Structure 1
Amino acid sequence: MSGNTVTQPHPTSCTPSRAARELGLRRGEFDLAVDLGCIRTVPDEGGGGRRVTRTEIDRLRAEGGFPETLKQRVETVGTKEGADLLQVTPGRFTRLARLGVVKPVKFYLNRYRAVVWLYLAEELRQFAADENKAPLLKGRTPAGPREQLVAGLDLRPRNWRARNLGFLLRRADRHPWACAAAVASQLDAVQVAEIVQDPYERVHLNRFRARPQAHGAPDSPAAHLAESLTMAQDPDEIDWLRADLAQAVSHARAVQPAPRPTVRPRPAEARQQEQPTTPTAGELGPPVLSTGVEQNPPVLSTTAEQNPTVPSTTVEQAPPMPSTTVEQDPNTPEEPGRPRGLLGRLRRRTP
Structure 2
Amino acid sequence: MSGTTLAHNRPLTCAPSRAARELGLKRGEFDLAVHLGRIRTVPDEGGGGGRRVPRSEIDRLRSRSESLGESVQVVGTTEAAALMGIPAGRFTRVARLGLVTPVKWYPNRYRAVVWLYLAEELRRFAADEKNARLLTGRTPTDLSDRLKAGTDQRARNWRGRHCGFLLRQADGPWERAGVVAGFLDPGEIDDVLTDPRERAHVTSLRPAPPAHGAPGSPTAQLAEDLMTAADPDEIEWFRHDLAREAAQARAHRPAPGPAVPSRHPAPDRPAHARGLRGWLLRRSPRPAH
Calculate the TM-score normalised by the size of structure 1.
0.69
> In the aligned structure 2, how far is the partner of 1:58 from the partner of 1:183?
34
Greater length-normalized contact order (CA 8 Å, ≥ 6 residues apart) = 2
Q: Does 1:114 align with 2:115?
A: no
User: What is aligned with 1:59?
Assistant: 60
The higher radius of gyration belongs to: 1
- Deviation of the 1:156 alpha carbon: 0.5
- Deviation of the 1:261 alpha carbon: 4.1
Question: Secondary structure of the equivalent of 1:117?
Answer: strand
Residue 192 (structure 1) aligned to one of 189, 210, 232: 189
- Deviation of the 1:211 alpha carbon: 2.3
User: What is aligned with 1:15?
Assistant: 15
- Deviation of the 1:92 alpha carbon: 0.2
**Unpaired stretches in structure 2, ≥5 consecutive residues:** 1-6, 260-289
> In the aligned structure 1, how far is the partner of 2:34 from the partner of 2:100?
21
- Deviation of the 1:33 alpha carbon: 0.6
Question: Secondary structure of the equivalent of 2:9?
Answer: coil
Residue 258 (structure 1) aligned to one of 245, 252, 255: 255
Structure 2 residue identity aligned to 1:200: R
> In the aligned structure 2, how far is the partner of 1:219 from the partner of 1:43?
29
> In the aligned structure 2, how far is the partner of 1:261 from the partner of 1:86?
55
- Deviation of the 1:12 alpha carbon: 0.9
Structure 2 residue identity aligned to 1:71: G
User: What is aligned with 1:144?
Assistant: 142
- Deviation of the 1:8 alpha carbon: 6.1
Question: Any idea what the Cα deviations from partners look like across 1:112-133, whole Å, max 9, x if unmatched?
Answer: 1111000000101111121111
Residue 245 (structure 2) aligned to one of 230, 233, 248: 248
User: What is aligned with 1:104?
Assistant: 102
Contact 2:209 2:223 in 1 (8 A): no
Structure 2 residue identity aligned to 1:85: L
Calculate the TM-score normalised by the size of structure 2.
0.83
Question: Any idea what the Cα deviations from partners look like across 1:232-291, whole Å, max 9, x if unmatched?
Answer: 1110111111111011101101102111249xxxxxxxxxxxxxxxxxxxxxxxxxxxxx
Question: Any idea what the Cα deviations from partners look like across 1:45-97, whole Å, max 9, x if unmatched?
Answer: 221311111110000013xxx32201011111000111011100000000000
* Larger proportion of helix: 2
> In the aligned structure 2, how far is the partner of 1:143 from the partner of 1:132?
17
> In the aligned structure 1, how far is the partner of 2:176 from the partner of 2:162?
13
User: What is aligned with 1:176?
Assistant: 173
Structure 2 residue identity aligned to 1:44: D
- Deviation of the 1:226 alpha carbon: 2.2
Structure 2 residue identity aligned to 1:254: A
> In the aligned structure 2, how far is the partner of 1:41 from the partner of 1:226?
25
Question: Secondary structure of the equivalent of 1:58?
Answer: helix
> In the aligned structure 1, how far is the partner of 2:255 from the partner of 2:248?
12
User: What is aligned with 2:84?
Assistant: 86
Structure 2 residue identity aligned to 1:19: A
User: What is aligned with 2:276?
Assistant: none
> In the aligned structure 1, how far is the partner of 2:246 from the partner of 2:125?
37
- Deviation of the 1:134 alpha carbon: 1.2
- Deviation of the 1:217 alpha carbon: 2.8
Q: Does 1:226 align with 2:227?
A: no
> In the aligned structure 2, how far is the partner of 1:256 from the partner of 1:121?
43
Structure 1 residue identity aligned to 2:99: V
Structure 1 residue identity aligned to 2:156: R
Contact 2:182 2:208 in 1 (8 A): no
Superposed structure 1 runs of 4+ greater than 3 Å apart: none
More deviation, 253-262/32-41: 253-262
- Deviation of the 1:26 alpha carbon: 1.4
Question: Secondary structure of the equivalent of 1:132?
Answer: helix
User: What is aligned with 1:215?
Assistant: 212
> In the aligned structure 2, how far is the partner of 1:152 from the partner of 1:200?
41
> In the aligned structure 1, how far is the partner of 2:203 from the partner of 2:27?
26
Question: Secondary structure of the equivalent of 1:228?
Answer: helix
**Unpaired stretches in structure 1, ≥5 consecutive residues:** 1-6, 263-351
User: What is aligned with 2:133?
Assistant: 135
Question: Secondary structure of the equivalent of 1:52?
Answer: strand
